[in-house]
Structure 1
Amino acid sequence: MIEPLLTIPAQSELPDSEPKTLVEGAYRQLRRDIIEGRLAPGSRLRVEHLKDFYNVGAGTLREALALLVSDALVVSQEQRGFRVTPISLADFEDVTHTRVLLETEALRQSIAHGDEAWEAELVGSFHRLTRAEEKLAADTPSSANEWEQRNRAFHEVLISACPSAWIRYFVGIMNQQSERYRRLTLLNPVLPRDVHAEHTAIFDAALARDAGRAAQLLAEHIVLTLTTMRQLPQEIFRNAGN
């Protein structure tokens, strides 16, 4: 079987491994700053300014930006350079529905093919996520970033036994997009929500090999973020690139 040429490493691996090239290092830094909102949605990315900030050459930075275009985190504007991809409620609705389609199918396949090693990894990732959620509830420093990393890792492990590399790849793209929006809900909580209970229910169903229930719970979990997003003031989206 020929594996697809996927150039982007698994997201959960990014914080723990050293970049192999200058391009990869610049890509990681830019990606992090876009997802965490330091580079605002819709803002122009001027190579002549950013190359000094990230301490890389113009060519290296352009290559990193090209990778981010393939992630749909950056938009190339022909002769006008690059911009951070804008955000909107309509876009997040599209991202959410696409993510539900892909990730629930990936979870079904992962449960069908997962072995004892997958189960052990799932238990470990859930334990680490639980600790991060405890810190988030206590509002400890850097808790949001740690929670995002552990949440991402948990969702990746859930589908890691899915045999389709393409499904896993596109789920990763959708999760990157979701993370940009999810951070807005963390900063602007509007609906009471027990995310830990949601994760626990998904974990229990997956470990019990109940693919139907696990997929249903995962879909509800993903859609609830969209429900929360719809409650946010619309000026959040209008002002995101200012």
Structure 2
Amino acid sequence: MNMQSRAEAPEPQTLGGIALDVLRADILQCRLRPNTRLRLEELRERYRMSISPLREALMRLQSEGLVTLEENKGFRVSPVSPDHLMDLTETRIDIETVMLRRAIECGSVEYEADILSAFHRLSRQKKIDPTSPGVISSVWSREHRAFHTSLVAACASNLLMSFQNSLFDQAERYVALSISYIAKPRDDLGEHEALMKAVLAGNVELACGLCASHIRRTTEKVLAATKALTVI
């Protein structure tokens, strides 16, 4: 089965695919903030693209939960809230621990090698963009997604992989909203390394426990960091 992650997918060849990529990136990095109206004429000027591929991309993003379409009002970036974040957190834990169990049980030497490679690449990146303080590095984000994908890639379910990708996107928005407000550095690398070691050791219960605590720790940081933000 094809378990290729969105982050590793080939560059899109259509205008609709290009529009989808740039819009998704701006939403996930909160350059387009929650609740922002997405007027097609304004997007056309912003991205120098025709309306047709932009509309196609917005419809796709609506299906992913990143955009809403209101009758007689048009498109809008999906809102965020503490309740949504908590729901997202527990749903991610449910989905990812199921996937993790399956992956560890079905994993091969290639699966383990992919995890080691993904962790190595992630460990070489800085989380914060050195050229833009308070902004998450796009390279770190790509490798972070690739690492988490590698942990569950052997679960043998394209449907679950699709759910995981969508939930990961939703979580990325909250992290991007809060990143500049987080004062105390977090040992992301240590958490990822512990999770990797548990998976490679085949310790299902420890791996699932570490996965759940990793996701919940992110949520706690986001909630603590975003108390001052009116959007949440």
TM-score by length of 1: 0.88
Aligned residues: 229
Deviation of the 1:18 alpha carbon: 2.2
Q: 1:118 aligns with which of 107, 111, 116?
A: 111
8 Å CA contact retained: 1:89, 1:229: no
Query: How far apart, CA to CA, are the structure 2 residues paired with 1:120 and 1:208?
Result: 13
Measured against aligned partners, the alpha-carbon deviations of 1:43-73 in whole angstroms (never above 9, x if no partner) come to 0000011123222221211111000001100
Asked if residue 92 in structure 1 is aligned to residue 85 in structure 2, the reply is yes
Q: Percent identity?
A: 37
Query: How far apart, CA to CA, are the structure 2 residues paired with 1:10 and 1:77?
Result: 30
Q: 1:171 aligns with which of 147, 153, 164?
A: 164
Asked if residue 141 in structure 1 is aligned to residue 124 in structure 2, the reply is no
Asked if residue 13 in structure 1 is aligned to residue 8 in structure 2, the reply is yes
8 Å CA contact retained: 2:34, 2:231: no
Alignment gaps of 5+ in structure 1:
none
Query: How far apart, CA to CA, are the structure 2 residues paired with 1:94 and 1:190?
Result: 25
Query: How far apart, CA to CA, are the structure 2 residues paired with 1:121 and 1:211?
Result: 18
| Other structure's SS at 2:153 match | coil
Query: How far apart, CA to CA, are the structure 1 residues paired with 2:153 and 2:43?
Result: 35
Deviation of the 1:125 alpha carbon: 0.2
The 5 A counterparts of 1:1-242 are 10-14=5-9, 17-132=10-125, 135-136=126-127, 140-141=130-131, 144-236=137-229, 238-239=230-231
Calculate the aligned-residue CA RMSD, in Å: 2.1
Change (3 A) 1:122 1:233: closer
Query: How far apart, CA to CA, are the structure 2 residues paired with 1:120 and 1:95?
Result: 30
Amino acid corresponding to residue 147 of structure 1 in structure 2 = W
Deviation of the 1:190 alpha carbon: 4.2
| Other structure's SS at 1:75 match | strand
Query: How far apart, CA to CA, are the structure 1 residues paired with 2:186 and 2:163?
Result: 27
| Other structure's SS at 2:68 match | strand
Amino acid corresponding to residue 6 of structure 2 in structure 1 = Q
Query: How far apart, CA to CA, are the structure 1 residues paired with 2:71 and 2:5?
Result: 29
Change (3 A) 1:110 1:42: same
| Other structure's SS at 2:59 match | helix
Deviation of the 1:233 alpha carbon: 4.4
Query: How far apart, CA to CA, are the structure 2 residues paired with 1:11 and 1:108?
Result: 22
Query: How far apart, CA to CA, are the structure 2 residues paired with 1:164 and 1:157?
Result: 13
8 Å CA contact retained: 2:88, 2:171: yes
Alignment gaps of 5+ in structure 2:
none
Change (3 A) 1:230 1:136: closer
Change (3 A) 1:233 1:136: closer
Query: How far apart, CA to CA, are the structure 1 residues paired with 2:142 and 2:199?
Result: 20
Name the stretch that deviates more: 226-235 or 77-86.
226-235
8 Å CA contact retained: 1:107, 1:215: yes
Deviation of the 1:11 alpha carbon: 2.3
